[in-house]
Amino acid sequence: MNTVVITGAGCVSPFGVGRERLWEGLAKGQCAIAPVPRLIDVVGGTCNAGALPEDALDGVFTANELLLLDRASQFALLSAAEALDMAGVNLASVDPYRCAVYMGTAAGGSESLHSAYLDLYQVGSATLAPWTVPRVMANAAASHISLKYGFKGPALTVSTACASSTQAIGEAYRLLRFGDADLVMAGGTDACLNALVWKAWEALRAMAPDTCRPFSTGRRGMVLGEGGGVLVMETLAHAQARGAPILARVLGYGVNSDAGDLLKPSVEGPAQAMRQAIADSRLPVEAFSYINAHGTGTLLNDRCETAAIKQVFGAHAPSLGVSSVKSSIGHLMGAAGVVELIAGLMSSIHKQIPGTLNYLGQDAECDLDYVTEGPREADVKAWLKNSFAFGGLNVSLALSAQGAQ
Protein backbone atom coordinates (compact mmCIF):
# COMPACT_ATOMS: atom_id res chain seq x y z
CA MET A 1 0.00 0.00 0.00
CA ASN A 2 1.37 3.40 -1.02
CA THR A 3 1.18 6.49 1.17
CA VAL A 4 -0.82 9.16 -0.67
CA VAL A 5 -0.05 12.87 -0.40
CA ILE A 6 -1.34 16.15 -1.78
CA THR A 7 1.32 18.35 -3.36
CA GLY A 8 -0.68 21.02 -5.14
CA ALA A 9 -4.07 22.74 -5.00
CA GLY A 10 -5.86 25.23 -7.19
CA CYS A 11 -9.38 26.58 -7.23
CA VAL A 12 -11.94 29.03 -8.52
CA SER A 13 -14.50 30.18 -5.96
CA PRO A 14 -17.02 32.98 -5.44
CA PHE A 15 -14.15 34.95 -3.87
CA GLY A 16 -12.28 34.86 -7.20
CA VAL A 17 -9.67 32.88 -9.11
CA GLY A 18 -7.04 31.18 -6.98
CA ARG A 19 -6.69 29.50 -3.61
CA GLU A 20 -5.29 32.67 -2.01
CA ARG A 21 -8.48 34.56 -2.88
CA LEU A 22 -10.48 31.79 -1.26
CA TRP A 23 -8.34 31.81 1.85
CA GLU A 24 -8.31 35.59 2.14
CA GLY A 25 -12.11 35.65 2.16
CA LEU A 26 -12.39 32.84 4.69
CA ALA A 27 -9.65 34.17 6.98
CA LYS A 28 -11.43 37.52 7.14
CA GLY A 29 -14.78 35.89 7.84
CA GLN A 30 -16.29 37.31 4.67
CA CYS A 31 -19.41 36.02 2.91
CA ALA A 32 -19.44 35.92 -0.90
CA ILE A 33 -23.18 35.20 -1.09
CA ALA A 34 -24.96 38.12 -2.77
CA PRO A 35 -27.61 38.93 -5.41
CA VAL A 36 -26.56 37.79 -8.90
CA PRO A 37 -27.65 40.36 -11.51
CA ARG A 38 -27.46 37.99 -14.48
CA LEU A 39 -29.92 35.65 -12.76
CA ILE A 40 -32.21 38.40 -11.49
CA ASP A 41 -32.55 39.70 -15.06
CA VAL A 42 -33.85 36.29 -16.18
CA VAL A 43 -35.76 34.73 -13.27
CA GLY A 44 -36.53 37.75 -11.09
CA GLY A 45 -36.49 37.85 -7.31
CA THR A 46 -33.37 38.37 -5.22
CA CYS A 47 -31.35 35.39 -6.54
CA ASN A 48 -28.76 35.27 -3.75
CA ALA A 49 -25.90 32.93 -4.66
CA GLY A 50 -22.16 32.45 -4.52
CA ALA A 51 -21.09 33.78 -7.91
CA LEU A 52 -17.66 34.63 -9.28
CA PRO A 53 -16.93 38.36 -9.57
CA GLU A 54 -18.31 39.52 -12.92
CA ASP A 55 -14.91 40.26 -14.46
CA ALA A 56 -13.02 37.29 -13.00
CA LEU A 57 -12.65 35.44 -16.32
CA ASP A 58 -12.23 38.44 -18.63
CA GLY A 59 -9.43 37.87 -21.14
CA VAL A 60 -8.36 34.56 -19.60
CA PHE A 61 -9.26 32.38 -22.61
CA THR A 62 -9.06 33.09 -26.33
CA ALA A 63 -12.17 33.26 -28.52
CA ASN A 64 -11.25 29.92 -30.11
CA GLU A 65 -10.81 28.29 -26.71
CA LEU A 66 -14.17 29.57 -25.56
CA LEU A 67 -15.88 27.83 -28.46
CA LEU A 68 -15.11 24.49 -26.82
CA LEU A 69 -15.08 25.42 -23.14
CA ASP A 70 -18.20 25.53 -21.02
CA ARG A 71 -17.85 27.74 -17.95
CA ALA A 72 -17.37 24.60 -15.82
CA SER A 73 -14.44 23.48 -18.00
CA GLN A 74 -12.91 26.94 -17.68
CA PHE A 75 -12.98 26.61 -13.90
CA ALA A 76 -11.35 23.19 -14.13
CA LEU A 77 -8.50 24.31 -16.39
CA LEU A 78 -7.70 27.35 -14.25
CA SER A 79 -7.69 25.21 -11.12
CA ALA A 80 -5.50 22.53 -12.70
CA ALA A 81 -2.93 25.09 -13.85
CA GLU A 82 -2.66 26.58 -10.37
CA ALA A 83 -2.40 23.15 -8.74
CA LEU A 84 0.36 21.96 -11.07
CA ASP A 85 2.27 25.19 -10.57
CA MET A 86 2.09 24.82 -6.80
CA ALA A 87 3.22 21.21 -7.02
CA GLY A 88 6.15 22.14 -9.28
CA VAL A 89 5.43 19.31 -11.70
CA ASN A 90 7.90 19.03 -14.60
CA LEU A 91 5.75 17.51 -17.33
CA ALA A 92 8.81 16.27 -19.20
CA SER A 93 9.95 14.17 -16.26
CA VAL A 94 6.73 12.25 -15.43
CA ASP A 95 5.45 9.12 -17.14
CA PRO A 96 2.25 10.27 -18.92
CA TYR A 97 0.78 6.77 -18.75
CA ARG A 98 1.15 6.88 -14.95
CA CYS A 99 -0.66 10.24 -14.66
CA ALA A 100 -4.46 10.21 -14.37
CA VAL A 101 -7.29 12.75 -14.16
CA TYR A 102 -10.30 12.12 -11.90
CA MET A 103 -12.91 14.89 -11.93
CA GLY A 104 -16.36 15.20 -10.40
CA THR A 105 -19.37 17.18 -11.59
CA ALA A 106 -23.04 17.24 -10.70
CA ALA A 107 -24.41 19.00 -13.78
CA GLY A 108 -21.65 18.90 -16.42
CA GLY A 109 -21.87 21.71 -18.95
CA SER A 110 -25.18 23.08 -17.69
CA GLU A 111 -24.47 26.62 -18.95
CA SER A 112 -24.07 25.30 -22.49
CA LEU A 113 -27.10 23.04 -22.15
CA HIS A 114 -29.19 26.01 -21.06
CA SER A 115 -27.94 28.03 -24.03
CA ALA A 116 -28.76 25.18 -26.41
CA TYR A 117 -32.31 25.00 -25.05
CA LEU A 118 -32.72 28.74 -25.60
CA ASP A 119 -31.45 28.45 -29.18
CA LEU A 120 -33.73 25.52 -29.94
CA TYR A 121 -36.95 26.46 -28.17
CA GLN A 122 -36.86 30.24 -27.69
CA VAL A 123 -34.99 31.45 -30.76
CA GLY A 124 -36.30 28.59 -32.89
CA SER A 125 -32.94 27.79 -34.43
CA ALA A 126 -33.07 24.95 -37.00
CA THR A 127 -29.60 23.77 -35.99
CA LEU A 128 -27.35 23.91 -32.94
CA ALA A 129 -23.71 24.90 -32.79
CA PRO A 130 -21.34 22.03 -33.75
CA TRP A 131 -19.49 22.42 -30.44
CA THR A 132 -22.64 21.83 -28.34
CA VAL A 133 -21.82 18.21 -27.48
CA PRO A 134 -18.15 18.85 -26.54
CA ARG A 135 -19.25 21.70 -24.28
CA VAL A 136 -22.16 19.88 -22.64
CA MET A 137 -20.67 16.43 -22.04
CA ALA A 138 -20.01 15.65 -18.39
CA ASN A 139 -16.48 14.35 -19.05
CA ALA A 140 -15.35 17.54 -20.78
CA ALA A 141 -13.37 18.92 -17.82
CA ALA A 142 -11.39 15.72 -17.26
CA SER A 143 -10.71 15.38 -20.96
CA HIS A 144 -9.56 18.99 -21.35
CA ILE A 145 -7.09 18.60 -18.46
CA SER A 146 -5.75 15.36 -19.94
CA LEU A 147 -5.37 16.96 -23.36
CA LYS A 148 -3.65 20.08 -22.09
CA TYR A 149 -1.03 18.26 -20.04
CA GLY A 150 -0.65 15.08 -22.06
CA PHE A 151 -1.70 12.78 -19.22
CA LYS A 152 -2.46 9.38 -20.77
CA GLY A 153 -3.60 7.46 -17.71
CA PRO A 154 -7.32 7.02 -17.01
CA ALA A 155 -9.51 10.11 -17.28
CA LEU A 156 -12.52 9.40 -15.11
CA THR A 157 -15.59 11.54 -14.46
CA VAL A 158 -17.53 10.95 -11.24
CA SER A 159 -21.08 12.25 -11.03
CA THR A 160 -22.55 11.64 -7.60
CA ALA A 161 -24.37 14.94 -7.14
CA CYS A 162 -22.95 17.04 -4.30
CA ALA A 163 -20.41 14.35 -3.36
CA SER A 164 -18.86 14.22 -6.84
CA SER A 165 -15.49 15.89 -6.29
CA THR A 166 -14.96 14.36 -2.85
CA GLN A 167 -15.60 10.91 -4.29
CA ALA A 168 -13.29 11.67 -7.24
CA ILE A 169 -10.54 12.47 -4.70
CA GLY A 170 -11.33 9.28 -2.80
CA GLU A 171 -11.13 7.15 -5.93
CA ALA A 172 -7.86 8.87 -6.89
CA TYR A 173 -6.57 7.96 -3.43
CA ARG A 174 -7.41 4.31 -4.10
CA LEU A 175 -5.76 4.39 -7.52
CA LEU A 176 -2.54 5.74 -6.03
CA ARG A 177 -2.66 3.60 -2.92
CA PHE A 178 -2.82 0.39 -4.93
CA GLY A 179 -0.02 1.45 -7.27
CA ASP A 180 -1.99 1.99 -10.47
CA ALA A 181 -0.74 5.56 -10.94
CA ASP A 182 2.05 7.87 -9.73
CA LEU A 183 0.14 11.15 -9.98
CA VAL A 184 -3.54 12.07 -10.25
CA MET A 185 -5.20 15.40 -10.92
CA ALA A 186 -8.38 15.11 -8.84
CA GLY A 187 -11.22 17.47 -8.08
CA GLY A 188 -14.41 18.80 -9.57
CA THR A 189 -16.24 21.66 -11.20
CA ASP A 190 -19.74 23.03 -11.68
CA ALA A 191 -21.19 26.24 -13.09
CA CYS A 192 -24.86 26.03 -12.15
CA LEU A 193 -25.85 29.68 -11.93
CA ASN A 194 -28.16 29.66 -14.92
CA ALA A 195 -31.94 29.80 -15.16
CA LEU A 196 -32.29 26.11 -16.01
CA VAL A 197 -30.58 24.83 -12.84
CA TRP A 198 -31.90 27.67 -10.68
CA LYS A 199 -35.55 26.99 -11.54
CA ALA A 200 -35.05 23.25 -11.05
CA TRP A 201 -33.71 23.78 -7.52
CA GLU A 202 -36.37 26.38 -6.85
CA ALA A 203 -39.00 23.74 -7.67
CA LEU A 204 -37.57 21.49 -4.94
CA ARG A 205 -38.10 24.29 -2.39
CA ALA A 206 -34.65 23.56 -0.97
CA MET A 207 -33.11 27.01 -1.49
CA ALA A 208 -32.92 29.72 1.16
CA PRO A 209 -34.27 33.12 0.11
CA ASP A 210 -31.58 35.00 2.01
CA THR A 211 -28.34 33.25 2.91
CA CYS A 212 -26.83 29.97 4.08
CA ARG A 213 -27.05 29.35 7.85
CA PRO A 214 -25.64 25.86 8.52
CA PHE A 215 -26.57 24.25 11.83
CA SER A 216 -28.37 27.42 12.95
CA THR A 217 -31.85 28.02 14.22
CA GLY A 218 -33.82 29.84 11.53
CA ARG A 219 -31.95 28.21 8.65
CA ARG A 220 -34.09 27.99 5.53
CA GLY A 221 -32.13 25.93 3.04
CA MET A 222 -29.11 25.84 0.77
CA VAL A 223 -27.68 28.59 -1.44
CA LEU A 224 -26.30 27.78 -4.89
CA GLY A 225 -22.75 28.67 -5.86
CA GLU A 226 -20.26 28.06 -8.65
CA GLY A 227 -16.60 27.11 -8.83
CA GLY A 228 -14.04 24.40 -9.29
CA GLY A 229 -10.97 22.91 -7.69
CA VAL A 230 -8.16 20.49 -8.49
CA LEU A 231 -5.60 18.72 -6.31
CA VAL A 232 -2.29 17.20 -7.39
CA MET A 233 -2.20 13.86 -5.59
CA GLU A 234 0.83 11.57 -5.68
CA THR A 235 2.34 8.57 -4.01
CA LEU A 236 4.72 9.73 -1.31
CA ALA A 237 7.61 7.99 -3.09
CA HIS A 238 6.90 9.83 -6.34
CA ALA A 239 6.60 13.19 -4.58
CA GLN A 240 9.80 12.67 -2.61
CA ALA A 241 11.72 11.54 -5.68
CA ARG A 242 11.08 14.88 -7.38
CA GLY A 243 11.42 16.96 -4.20
CA ALA A 244 7.80 18.10 -4.15
CA PRO A 245 6.23 20.00 -1.25
CA ILE A 246 3.88 17.91 0.89
CA LEU A 247 0.70 19.79 1.81
CA ALA A 248 -1.13 16.92 3.47
CA ARG A 249 -1.53 13.17 3.61
CA VAL A 250 -4.75 11.44 2.64
CA LEU A 251 -5.21 8.86 5.38
CA GLY A 252 -8.58 7.28 4.70
CA TYR A 253 -11.64 7.14 2.51
CA GLY A 254 -15.18 6.08 3.38
CA VAL A 255 -17.98 5.80 0.83
CA ASN A 256 -21.42 4.21 0.75
CA SER A 257 -25.00 4.56 -0.40
CA ASP A 258 -28.01 4.72 1.89
CA ALA A 259 -30.14 2.66 -0.52
CA GLY A 260 -33.04 4.44 1.14
CA ASP A 261 -34.61 7.68 0.01
CA LEU A 262 -33.51 9.58 -3.10
CA LEU A 263 -33.70 12.99 -1.41
CA LYS A 264 -33.83 12.57 2.37
CA PRO A 265 -30.49 12.03 4.16
CA SER A 266 -29.93 9.37 6.81
CA VAL A 267 -27.80 9.25 9.94
CA GLU A 268 -26.34 5.76 9.53
CA GLY A 269 -24.92 6.30 6.00
CA PRO A 270 -22.85 9.39 6.88
CA ALA A 271 -21.82 7.77 10.17
CA GLN A 272 -20.61 4.65 8.37
CA ALA A 273 -18.64 6.74 5.83
CA MET A 274 -16.87 8.55 8.68
CA ARG A 275 -16.21 5.28 10.52
CA GLN A 276 -14.70 3.78 7.37
CA ALA A 277 -12.44 6.79 6.75
CA ILE A 278 -11.26 6.80 10.37
CA ALA A 279 -10.65 3.04 10.36
CA ASP A 280 -8.68 3.41 7.12
CA SER A 281 -6.53 6.09 8.77
CA ARG A 282 -5.71 3.76 11.70
CA LEU A 283 -6.03 6.72 14.06
CA PRO A 284 -8.22 6.81 17.17
CA VAL A 285 -11.21 9.15 17.04
CA GLU A 286 -9.51 11.32 19.68
CA ALA A 287 -6.76 12.17 17.16
CA PHE A 288 -9.24 14.21 15.08
CA SER A 289 -9.91 17.80 16.08
CA TYR A 290 -11.75 19.28 13.08
CA ILE A 291 -14.52 18.29 10.69
CA ASN A 292 -14.92 20.23 7.46
CA ALA A 293 -18.66 19.56 7.32
CA HIS A 294 -21.07 19.13 4.45
CA GLY A 295 -23.30 21.62 6.28
CA THR A 296 -25.78 22.70 3.61
CA GLY A 297 -28.08 24.77 5.80
CA THR A 298 -31.13 22.57 5.20
CA LEU A 299 -33.17 21.49 8.21
CA LEU A 300 -32.77 17.74 7.82
CA ASN A 301 -29.22 17.54 6.47
CA ASP A 302 -27.66 19.50 9.31
CA ARG A 303 -29.52 17.49 11.94
CA CYS A 304 -28.49 14.18 10.34
CA GLU A 305 -24.83 15.21 10.02
CA THR A 306 -24.76 16.33 13.66
CA ALA A 307 -26.32 13.07 14.82
CA ALA A 308 -23.87 11.06 12.70
CA ILE A 309 -20.88 12.91 14.18
CA LYS A 310 -22.16 12.22 17.69
CA GLN A 311 -22.68 8.56 16.85
CA VAL A 312 -19.13 8.15 15.51
CA PHE A 313 -17.18 10.29 17.97
CA GLY A 314 -19.19 9.73 21.12
CA ALA A 315 -17.76 11.58 24.13
CA HIS A 316 -15.15 13.25 21.87
CA ALA A 317 -17.79 14.94 19.66
CA PRO A 318 -18.13 18.12 21.78
CA SER A 319 -14.35 18.65 21.53
CA LEU A 320 -14.44 18.84 17.72
CA GLY A 321 -14.50 22.04 15.74
CA VAL A 322 -17.16 21.58 13.03
CA SER A 323 -17.54 24.25 10.36
CA SER A 324 -19.26 24.70 7.02
CA VAL A 325 -17.52 26.64 4.26
CA LYS A 326 -20.86 26.80 2.43
CA SER A 327 -21.86 29.59 4.81
CA SER A 328 -19.21 31.72 3.08
CA ILE A 329 -19.44 30.69 -0.59
CA GLY A 330 -22.68 28.77 -1.05
CA HIS A 331 -23.04 25.24 -2.34
CA LEU A 332 -20.78 24.65 -5.35
CA MET A 333 -22.56 21.39 -6.16
CA GLY A 334 -20.13 18.85 -7.63
CA ALA A 335 -17.22 21.18 -6.87
CA ALA A 336 -18.23 21.77 -3.25
CA GLY A 337 -16.14 19.00 -1.75
CA VAL A 338 -12.83 19.87 -3.36
CA VAL A 339 -13.08 23.63 -2.83
CA GLU A 340 -14.03 23.08 0.81
CA LEU A 341 -11.19 20.56 1.17
CA ILE A 342 -8.75 23.15 -0.21
CA ALA A 343 -10.07 25.52 2.44
CA GLY A 344 -9.21 22.82 4.98
CA LEU A 345 -5.71 22.47 3.55
CA MET A 346 -5.18 26.21 3.81
CA SER A 347 -6.50 26.03 7.37
CA SER A 348 -3.84 23.50 8.34
CA ILE A 349 -1.13 25.61 6.70
CA HIS A 350 -2.22 28.84 8.39
CA LYS A 351 -3.32 27.14 11.63
CA GLN A 352 -6.72 28.77 11.48
CA ILE A 353 -10.00 27.03 10.73
CA PRO A 354 -12.81 28.91 8.98
CA GLY A 355 -15.94 29.71 10.91
CA THR A 356 -19.57 28.94 10.21
CA LEU A 357 -21.11 32.29 9.27
CA ASN A 358 -24.64 33.69 9.49
CA TYR A 359 -25.38 31.83 12.73
CA LEU A 360 -28.48 33.01 14.61
CA GLY A 361 -28.49 30.61 17.55
CA GLN A 362 -28.56 26.97 18.53
CA ASP A 363 -30.94 24.48 16.99
CA ALA A 364 -32.18 21.95 19.54
CA GLU A 365 -30.76 19.07 17.47
CA CYS A 366 -27.56 20.83 16.34
CA ASP A 367 -25.55 21.30 19.51
CA LEU A 368 -21.89 20.82 18.60
CA ASP A 369 -19.13 23.42 18.34
CA TYR A 370 -19.70 24.96 14.89
CA VAL A 371 -17.01 27.66 15.20
CA THR A 372 -19.66 30.37 15.03
CA GLU A 373 -17.47 33.16 16.41
CA GLY A 374 -15.56 33.41 13.12
CA PRO A 375 -12.14 32.08 12.05
CA ARG A 376 -10.42 30.30 14.94
CA GLU A 377 -6.75 29.76 15.66
CA ALA A 378 -6.16 26.00 15.76
CA ASP A 379 -3.27 23.63 15.08
CA VAL A 380 -5.16 20.80 13.38
CA LYS A 381 -3.25 17.55 12.91
CA ALA A 382 -6.00 15.20 11.69
CA TRP A 383 -9.37 16.11 10.25
CA LEU A 384 -12.30 14.86 8.18
CA LYS A 385 -13.93 16.19 5.04
CA ASN A 386 -17.58 15.17 4.67
CA SER A 387 -19.78 15.27 1.57
CA PHE A 388 -23.29 13.84 1.38
CA ALA A 389 -25.53 13.93 -1.67
CA PHE A 390 -28.95 13.31 -3.16
CA GLY A 391 -29.27 9.66 -4.02
CA GLY A 392 -28.16 8.76 -0.51
CA LEU A 393 -24.46 9.07 -1.38
CA ASN A 394 -22.02 9.51 1.50
CA VAL A 395 -18.30 10.26 1.33
CA SER A 396 -15.77 11.07 4.03
CA LEU A 397 -12.03 11.63 3.73
CA ALA A 398 -9.51 11.54 6.57
CA LEU A 399 -6.49 13.80 6.19
CA SER A 400 -3.50 14.89 8.20
CA ALA A 401 -1.55 18.11 8.09
CA GLN A 402 1.90 18.43 6.55
CA GLY A 403 4.38 16.36 8.53
CA ALA A 404 1.71 14.70 10.69
CA GLN A 405 1.51 10.91 10.61
Q: Domain 1-392+400-405 - what CATH class?
A: alpha beta
pLDDT digits (tens, 9 = 90+) for 49-90: 999 999 999 999 999 999 999 999 999 999 999 999 999 999
Helix (H, G, I), strand (E, B) or coil at 365: coil
Contact indicator for 375, 355 with CB cutoff of 8 Å: yes
Residue 248 pLDDT level (bands cut at 50, 70, 90): very high
- Residue 331 known to be catalytic: yes
For residues 353-361, average pLDDT: 98
- % of the chain residues with pLDDT over 90: 99
Task: Compute the average pLDDT of residues 268-293.
Answer: 98
Across the range 354-364, mean pLDDT stands at 97
Q: How many CB atoms lie within 10 A of CB 176?
A: 26
Residue 109 scores a pLDDT above 70: yes
Residue type at position 353:
I
| Interatomic CA distance for residues 256 and 260, integer angstroms | 12
Distance CA(109)–CA(28), nearest Å, equals 32
Pick the catalytic residue: 99, 162, 212, 366? 162
Where along the chain do its domains lie?
A: 1-392+400-405
| Residue among 11, 294, 304, 366 flagged as catalytic | 294
Give the 3-state secondary structure of 46-102: CCEEECCCCCCCCCCCCHHHHHHCCHHHHHHHHHHHHHHHHHCCCHHHCCHHHEEEE
pLDDT, residue 402, reads 75
> Is 294 assigned a catalytic role?
yes
Q: Average model confidence (pLDDT) for the chain? A: 97
Residue % of the chain over a pLDDT of 70 = 99
Alpha carbons 156 and 165: distance in angstroms, whole number: 11
| Closest C-alpha to 148, from 88, 227, 65, 67 | 65
Contact 393, 168 (CB under 8 A): no
Residue 196 neighbours by CB under 8 Å, 6+ apart: 110, 113, 114, 117
393: how many CB neighbours lie within 10 A of its CB? Answer: 22
Is residue 162 part of the annotated active site? The answer reads yes
Rounded CA separation 97/123 (Å): 45
Query: From its phi and psi, is residue 44 left (phi > 0), alpha (psi between -120 and 50) or beta?
Result: left
Long-range pairs for 151-154 at CB < 8 Å and ≥24 separation? 151/96, 151/99, 151/100, 151/101, 151/185, 152/96, 152/97, 152/99, 153/96, 153/97, 153/98, 153/99, 153/100, 153/101, 153/181, 153/184, 154/100, 154/101, 154/102, 154/181
pLDDT reading at 196 higher than 50: yes
Q: Work out the pLDDT band at 403, boundaries 50, 70, 90.
A: low
What pLDDT does residue 405 have? 46
Residue 144 pLDDT exceeds 80: yes
Average pLDDT for residues 276-299, to the nearest whole number? 98
At 146, the amino acid letter reads S
